[in-house]
Structure 1
Amino acid sequence: MNGRRIIYRQFGSPASVLSVEESPSRALKKDDVLVKMTMMPINPSDLIPIRGAYAHRISLPAVPGYEGVGIVEEVGSNVSSTLIGKRVLPLRGEGTWQDVVQTKAAHVVTIPSTLNDRTAAQLYINPLTAFVLCTDILNLRPRDVVVMNAASSALGKLIAQMSKLRGFSFIAVVRNDVYKEELLQLGATTVVNDGDESVYDEVLAYTAGAGATVAIDSIGGEAGNRLGACVQRNGVFLAVGLLSGQQVNWQGLSSRLQTTLFHLRQWNKTVTDTHWHQAFNTLISHVSEGILTISNDGTAYELANVQQAVKQAEQASNFNGKVFLLGQK
């Protein structure tokens, strides 16, 4: 099955280096499935590699995109034909920004009819990360106090919801008050504006001087260092992002805290396929039941208009929701 794909042959500004090409015909491997894509979101984690942040592990040319939803069109000889026609997430294989994606049958996640395409397309990067962090990695419980910066992000909003589900306290650190009320409604215990208030003072006041038990850092640099200072001795400092482009003082932080990094890609490699699917099944149940919510707001662009789409996705002042790409009809 032929179609189009978004591709980059050099690193640089996504709007400049991305182009649309016809996908070459490929033979389907015996354990693979072919999925006709319907909708793919644009995430910061999709754009960062295009700029060259992970050039050491990316072979060019490359197709971007980690998430998306589509319909199974074909299956390999070792795969049950009952998958044909099912709506799935084709993950951990090729980049998703193309009309047709090929991946292993073991790495497709079937989506129930209760979830629309916009919700389904966003289930992987942020929802699975939030779920795994709060369960597998940190095993957060009611006694825990978690402080997180860049908490108005999609991940931060999901952590806020997980705090309500798991019972831990969540101190959301933001740069403005735009999402303050939303974060409180979602489950945040309190919201601290890093521009107007001292995060350190607010955390110590909330914890009666004890400090947080866990910090989740999305920014790095001085913001990450300040966040680490809010954590009690032998607490956990977990880095999930590097929005500042600068590392924290790992040596200083590790002298008094348990420090670690989380990459969903690495977690995928450490767990069995059975555990991976169990995590997804629980996550999908929570979303289907409304325990966890994912915003459907945003704009959708045809695949051919990818330059316009990534420009909108990169606008720092964009409060209009997620930007999506649409597959071939």
Structure 2
Amino acid sequence: MKRVEYRRRGPVPQDVVEVVERETPAPGQGEALVEVLAAPINPSDVLTLAGDYGTLPPLPAVGGNEGVGRVVALGADAHGPGPGQMVLLPVGIGTWSTHVVAPAKALMALPEGADPVQLSMLTVNPPTARLLLTDTVELPPGSWVLQNAANSAVGGYLVQLAKARGLRTVNVVRRESAAEVVEEQGGDVVLVDGDDLAARVESATGGAAITLGIDAVGGMATERLAQSLASGATLVNYGAMGGEACAISPASLIFRGITLRGFWLSWWYKQAEPQVRAALFAELAGLIAQGQLSARVQTAYAIDDAAQAVAAAASGGRDGKVVLLPNGAIGG
């Protein structure tokens, strides 16, 4: 087997990873050996390699927080999906590998015939988008939602999930070239960020009272969203793509009653009951299998090109996800 390991962390994430060969392990008591089909490279993975993420695994470590695979063999007394079944891998298991060993009971069977690459992104970005949209404020059908970083993976999922729920989205991007991507995914309004954002949001929505804003950029982008929301609205931050802490004025916080709160999926995972997590995964997997939920994929890489894949994932200006195919191209 091959896997992508790192023994140190550093500011250039592609420089700390190396592809190493190991003996393919046999599954032990209650375990399953799984061949990994696809594993994405997320911003959180890049931040982990750089040492800048909220939680860091002990070194040495294997990269990759999510992915899908196919069960190869079960160990003694293993109770879970059988050999040949496509499965969702447990979060944080180290999926940048041709094979992994996991507790059989922790594996979730996935719909056969669905795209493994799309399913491989199931446990990070789609739940983030779904929870941001539904677990913050009550939004009746027809409501508007405002988000920035709308061309990101989370942004794309949020647009699709909002449309399915009868919600409308105002989508803010940082460059004109990104607008077309969001429009193709069904964004109702797409605007390039700028100092006059609030006025343009008001014009585009006919002065609608927007009660939910979603921020992934930070810095003054947070304040521009706050200015575009209705008084008493909630603004949720889940990232700092701009590299700066959220900036929000006393005028927004005090005089207009805007609530700024944070969201971290890892924290939600720690608190959510297993059955709640399983139900959310099942819901999202069903939407993916039906073709109602997807993310743009920019490039898929072989495991031997992992450093190049990490560099691509860390670069700006992408319009799609970077995915590893540890065992090569996935056949029909």
Pairing 1:161-240 to 2, within 5 Å after superposition? 161-195=160-194, 198-209=196-207, 211-240=209-238
Code of the residue aligned with 2:59 in structure 1: it is L
What is the SS of the residue equivalent to 1:142? coil
What is the SS of the residue equivalent to 2:141? coil
The CA distance in 2 between the partners of 1:218 and 1:81, in whole Å, is 37
Code of the residue aligned with 1:317 in structure 2: it is G
The CA distance in 1 between the partners of 2:298 and 2:310, in whole Å, is 13
Code of the residue aligned with 1:9 in structure 2: it is R
CA deviations on 1:201-251 (whole Å, 9 max, x unpaired) are 122334555642111000111111221222222211111111122211368
Code of the residue aligned with 2:247 in structure 1: it is N
CA contact (8 A) 1:35 1:100 kept: yes
CA contact (8 A) 1:133 1:139 kept: no
The CA distance in 1 between the partners of 2:164 and 2:263, in whole Å, is 21
CA contact (8 A) 2:172 2:192 kept: yes
The CA distance in 2 between the partners of 1:87 and 1:303, in whole Å, is 20
The CA distance in 1 between the partners of 2:303 and 2:106, in whole Å, is 24
Code of the residue aligned with 1:282 in structure 2: it is E
Equivalent in the alignment of 1:305: 305
Equivalent in the alignment of 2:315: 315
Pairing 1:35-184 to 2, within 5 Å after superposition? 35-54=34-53, 57-80=56-79, 82-184=81-183
Distance apart, 1:78 and its partner CA: 4.4
CA deviations on 1:64-107 (whole Å, 9 max, x unpaired) are 21121111123354432652221112122422111222333443
TM-score normalised by the chain length of structure 2? 0.87
Code of the residue aligned with 2:223 in structure 1: it is N
Name the CA shift for 1:118/1:56 in 2 (closer, same or farther; >3 Å).
Answer: closer
CA contact (8 A) 1:35 1:70 kept: yes
Code of the residue aligned with 2:91 in structure 1: it is R
The CA distance in 1 between the partners of 2:283 and 2:55, in whole Å, is 34
Aligned residues: 324
Name the CA shift for 1:90/1:308 in 2 (closer, same or farther; >3 Å).
Answer: same
Name the CA shift for 1:199/1:328 in 2 (closer, same or farther; >3 Å).
Answer: same
CA deviations on 1:96-153 (whole Å, 9 max, x unpaired) are 1112223334432222123122212222221222223223444533253211111111
TM-score normalised by the chain length of structure 1? 0.88
Code of the residue aligned with 2:20 in structure 1: it is E
Distance apart, 1:166 and its partner CA: 1.1
Higher mean alpha-carbon deviation, 203-212 vs 45-54, is at 203-212
What is the SS of the residue equivalent to 2:36? strand
Code of the residue aligned with 1:305 in structure 2: it is D
The CA distance in 1 between the partners of 2:253 and 2:30, in whole Å, is 44
Equivalent in the alignment of 1:326: 325
Higher mean alpha-carbon deviation, 142-151 vs 69-78, is at 69-78
Equivalent in the alignment of 1:242: 240
Name the CA shift for 1:55/1:185 in 2 (closer, same or farther; >3 Å).
Answer: closer
What is the SS of the residue equivalent to 2:73? strand
Equivalent in the alignment of 1:258: 259
Pairing 1:14-33 to 2, within 5 Å after superposition? 14-23=13-22, 28=27, 30-33=29-32
Equivalent in the alignment of 1:280: 281
Code of the residue aligned with 1:310 in structure 2: it is V
What is the SS of the residue equivalent to 2:217? coil
Name the CA shift for 1:7/1:258 in 2 (closer, same or farther; >3 Å).
Answer: same
CA contact (8 A) 1:69 1:121 kept: yes
- Over the residues paired in the alignment, what is the CA RMSD in angstroms? 2.5
The CA distance in 2 between the partners of 1:145 and 1:52, in whole Å, is 37
Code of the residue aligned with 2:289 in structure 1: it is S
CA deviations on 1:33-68 (whole Å, 9 max, x unpaired) are 332212212222211111111376432222221121
What is the SS of the residue equivalent to 2:61? coil
The CA distance in 2 between the partners of 1:317 and 1:183, in whole Å, is 14
The CA distance in 1 between the partners of 2:139 and 2:74, in whole Å, is 40
> Identity rate of aligned residues, in percent?
32
The CA distance in 1 between the partners of 2:263 and 2:105, in whole Å, is 23
Structure 1: which 5+ residue stretches go unaligned? Answer: none
Name the CA shift for 1:254/1:82 in 2 (closer, same or farther; >3 Å).
Answer: same
